[in-house]
Structure 1
Amino acid sequence: MSPEGKALLNIIILGLGFMVMFTAFGTCGNIEQTVIKSFNSTEFHGSGYTSMAIIYAVFSASNLIAPSVIAVIGPLLSLFFGGLVYSAYIAVFIHPYTWSFYTFSVLLGIAAAVLWTAQGNLLTINSKDSTIGRNSGIFWALMQFSLFFGNLYIYLAWHGKTHITDKDRQTVFITLTVISLVGSFLFFLIQRPDPEPAPSDASESLLPTDISDSSSVVASQGLGSQALDAFKKSIQLAVTKEMLLLSIPFAYSGLELTFYSGVYGTCLGAMSKFGGDAKGLIGLSGILIGVGEILGGGVFGILDKCNRFGRNPVVFLGMVTHFVAFYLIFLNIASDAPVAPEEGTQMQAYMQPSVLVALICSFLLGLGDSCFNTQLISIVGFLFREDSAPAFAVFKFVQSITAAVAFFYSNYLLLQWQLLIMVLVGFWGTVTFFVVEWIAMSSRRNSDHGSI
């Protein structure tokens, strides 16, 4: 197999591994607040929103050490061990206790930082400047199939239910735990990419060793030195002009991640005016979010080579798509839906609640999210090719800390205020992304002219 073919196969396997694992975890996150509300136990006092806030807060802090972990054990083992912690968190819901629920929330935050930094590292070292956009789209589309499969199961299993029994919960979470474990083992199918022909310097020759282990580097540097260098590089990158500008779209991606992955499904399940279909709508909404993600990732990946205008039009499309969705949600969903009790809310927004409008918004949330994330992954991989692990760690640091803040305030803020926050941050995030893209395109043109 040619080096390019092997690299593409690695991207596909990476996407499939994330698809299988996040079929389990994405579904877990989408339903956990609803499940917790239905759990009858005087010994359990957890909150799904609080758990997610803890996860993303620890995730954010752990991104500072994630490059060091990957430098020591390599991205493959980082993916595998990170995946095992995801499985353990899901398994907690088979019979939840408050102490285990929050303990594994902390552990998952650490694992998530390592997992996603390793993902960005693997994506970058299996891509060239000419293929980073395509590969980002392929990975994102494959991963987002997870939303389709997991939520289809939830829709079929919970359709017509107004209360989730212990048996319903246990059946779902045993299944999700097994699925998550399968995804973790898929990562071992990723192969070491072939080295670039005739590397011009030592830094190029080190790239292939990133895929499996760091033994050759460790021999010359030592574990502690290599880990410290990776940590220092993360700090240095965080204060560059490009990263400071990108921090606003990074932050927006964290806010809207919180909304579509945890808050919106909870809102639909709390709408009493949707009748007996309300709980089943959580799964159906997740499916349509996934359809939007898959469509966006696939189209933007395929069209990447044909795009003469760079990444800005895709990000602008994402902003418009999300703003339309937010406005329709504001009109359709009751303001107290995010914080309503288990029996739901009887309030009505500014129009007669419509299931069709609610599901259209789900699709738009997924499509807009794919616009932002495929382009953020692409531009980070393009700008920081030589330091991909630290760069993606900074990306996830900012994204996760804002997600933690958003999950925290979701316990208290009414829907309209959550939507307003996303509109403001989304607008400025789009503007600053445009600036960084113009800088990147200018740099590429100057480089091309210099090589002629």
Structure 2
Amino acid sequence: IHPSSKKLRNIVILGFAFMLVFTAFQTCENIEQTVIKSFNSSEFHGSGYTSMSIIYGVFSVSNLVAPSVVAVIGPQFSMFLGGLLYSAYIAMFIHPYTWSFYTASVLVGVGAAVLWTAQGNVLAINSDNHTIGRNSGIFWALLEMTQTSLCFPSYKDRQTVFISLTVISFIGCFLFFLIRKPDLEFYSPKVTEFLLRGKSIEFQACKLSMTKEMLLLSFSIGYTGLELTFYSGVYGTCIGAMNRFGKDAKSLIGISGICVGIGEILGGGIFGFLNKSSRFRRNPVVLVGLVTHIVAFYLVFLNIASDAPLAPEAGTDQEAFISPSVSVALLCSFLLGFGDSCYNTQLLSVVGFLFRDNSAPAFAVYKFIQSIMAALAFFYSNFLLLHWQLLILVLSGFLGTFSFFLAEWKVQSHLELDYSSI
């Protein structure tokens, strides 16, 4: 097989494996706060928001050591082990206890750091300056097909739902073994040195985190962590809590997930494939993402009751500023997914381009920043009303977009100097 074909095949397999693992996990993430409310008992007292805050908090800390794990055991086995810990978290819901719930939250945070660091390493190794944008788009579109499976007719039969999700996750874990390592001569010298000698990855990560480009990108990456929390955990809970949507409001959580997924796939497909060359300007795509999200946040503000994130199992009877509309709620889900894909495809592309020779530590820094902001967002989701959460998202969105513009302008100025010297 031609090396370029092998690399493209690896990217497709990587995307399908992540699609299955995160079909299961994101379904679990999307419904767990609603499901937990229905079975709190003398045996179990837990909060889905608290669990997610623990996951992303441990995730952020674990990113400091994840590159060394990937260097020692290899990216393929790292992804398999990380995927197994995701499966264990999902399986815990078959018969949950408070202690197992929070223990599994810690373990999946560790597994997530190893899994995503290895993913960034595999993506960079199987790409070059001309294919990193395309490959990022392919991976992101396949990953976000997870959202199209986030619909169950009922959450009452908890064991059947979570057994099914566990099996789906296991299948994804074993797909990682189909990824073939590219021939060593096609690795860049620094990547080869990293894989063979296992240099001080933590030092490299700290060093990369202090570069001007990464410092600028950190605001954009942090924003993706905040909005990830909102669309993956908070917004679905809000929709399910709106009694004005009718007696089947909770079933809309799955449909909302599908709409998010359609937006993610469409955005990943359009903007990922457009970004075929390192000379493609990423700023317009990120600007589209900002505008899309601002429109979505405004419509959510008008349509969803402010106390919806904190409503009890019985839901809320309050209204916002317009008569609650299911169509507007699902449109917002689509816009949230579409805007998220704008940011993530371009961030994957620019980080993969800037730090290709140090991809594992670079993606470790990326996930560290994203996950610690997601942990913060899940923490404040326990007590902040919806309008305050939306205000935080709007302000951080503007700051993240502006900082991305500055980072991209620096990249393009360096490229123009390089091309002018040829």
Distance 2:350 2:121 in 1: 13
1:406 aligned residue: 377
Task: Indicate the residue corresponding to 1:297 in structure 2.
Answer: 268
Partner of 1:97: 97
In structure 2, the partner of 1:179 is: 168
Deviation at 1:310, TM superposition (A): 1.0
1:161 corresponding residue in structure 2: none
Q: Does 1:192 align with 2:192?
A: no
- Please report how far the alpha carbon of residue 301 of structure 1 lies from its aligned counterpart in structure 2 after TM superposition: 2.1
Aligned to 1:381: 352
**Deviation (angstroms), 1:345:** 0.3
Task: Name 1:170's counterpart in structure 2.
Answer: 159
Alignment of 1:54-133 (within 5 A): 54-133=54-133
Deviations 1:386-436 (A, max 9, x none): 100000000100100000000000010000000000100110100000011
What corresponds to 2:363 in structure 1? 392
Say which SS state the counterpart of residue 94 (structure 1) adopts. coil
Counterpart position of 1:312: 283
Letter in 1 for 2:306: S
- What is the CA deviation profile of residues 80-126 of structure 1, one whole-angstrom value per residue up to 9, with x for unaligned ones? 00000000000110111000000010011111011011111100010
Residue identity in the other structure for 2:181: R
The answer as to whether partners of 2:279 and 2:415 remain within 8 angstroms in 1 is no
**Structure 1 residue 235 and structure 2 residue 206: aligned?**
yes
Q: Stretches of 4+ moved more than 4 A in 1?
A: 306-309
Matching residue's letter, 2:178: L
CA distance in 2, matches of 1:308, 1:335: 44
Amino acid at match of 1:180: S
Partner of 2:414: 443
For residues 287-307 of structure 1, give each alpha carbon's deviation from its aligned partner in whole angstroms, at most 9, with x where no partner exists. Answer: 000000000111112222389
Which of the numbers 193, 199, 203 marks the counterpart of 2:190?
Answer: 203
Amino acid across the alignment from 1:98: T
- The one-letter code sitting in structure 2 at the alignment partner of 1:266 is T
Q: 2:242, 2:308 within 8 Å by CA — same for their partners in 1? A: yes
Letter in 1 for 2:229: T
Query: CA 1:386–1:274 in 2, change beyond 3 Å: closer, same or farther?
Result: same
Instruction: Read off the aligned partner of 1:49 and give its amino acid letter.
Output: Y
Paired position in structure 1 for 2:17: 17
State whether residues 209 and 215 of structure 2, in contact with CA within 8 Å, keep that contact through their aligned partners in structure 1.
yes
Quote the offset at 1:309 in angstroms: 4.8
In structure 2, what is the equivalent of residue 287 of structure 1?
A: 258
Check whether the contact 2:130–2:277 (CA below 8 A) recurs between aligned residues: no
Cα pair distance change 1:62/1:307, threshold 3 Å:
closer
C-alpha contact (below 8 Å) 2:40/2:46 kept by paired residues: no
Contact in 1 for aligned 2:129/2:353 (Cα 8 Å): yes
Q: 5 Å matches for 1:23-38?
A: 23-38=23-38
Are the counterparts in 1 of residues 217 and 403 from structure 2 also a CA contact under 8 Å? yes
Task: Give the drift of 1:449.
Answer: 2.1
Instruction: Check whether the contact 2:90–2:165 (CA below 8 A) recurs between aligned residues.
Output: yes
Q: Is the 8 A contact 2:26 2:147 kept in 1?
A: yes
Per-residue deviation at 1:202?
4.5
Structure 1 CA distance for aligned equivalents of residues 218 and 343 of structure 2: 13
CA gap of 1:307–1:385, structure 2 versus 1, over 3 A, is: closer
Compute the TM-score of the two structures, normalised by the length of structure 2. Answer: 0.97
Percent of counterpart pairs with the same letter?
Answer: 66
**Matched residue type, 2:133:** G
Q: CA deviation at 1:308?
A: 6.0
Matched residues in 2 for 1:18 and 1:12: separation?
Answer: 10
Question: SS of the residue aligned with 1:276?
Answer: coil
Task: Identify unmatched segments of 5+ residues in structure 1.
Answer: 159-163
Q: Match of 2:122, as an amino acid?
A: L
1:145-191 superposed Cα distances (whole Å, 9 cap, x missing partner):
11102x13x2xx22xxxxx43xx111100000010000000000000
Report the AA paired with residue 203 of structure 1: K
Does the aligned pair in 1 maintain the 2:310–2:383 contact within 8 Å? yes
In the alignment, is residue 419 of structure 1 matched against residue 390 of structure 2? yes
Quote the offset at 1:15 in angstroms.
Answer: 0.2
Q: Read off the aligned partner of 1:183 and give its amino acid letter.
A: G
Q: Tell me the distance in 2 between the aligned counterparts of 1:181 and 1:431.
A: 40
Structure 1, residues 57-97: CA drift from partner, whole Å, max 9, x if none? 00001111111111111110110000000000001101110
Deviation at 1:40, TM superposition (A): 4.4
Shift, 1:194, TM fit: 2.6
| 1:354 equivalent in alignment to 2:341 | no
**Partner letter of residue 189 of structure 1?**
L
Change (3 A) 1:196 1:440: farther
Correspondence 1:328 to 2:299: yes
Q: 2 CA distance for matches of 1:308 and 1:62?
A: 34
> Residues 22-46 of structure 1: CA distance to partner in whole angstroms, max 9, x if unpaired?
1100100000000000014211111
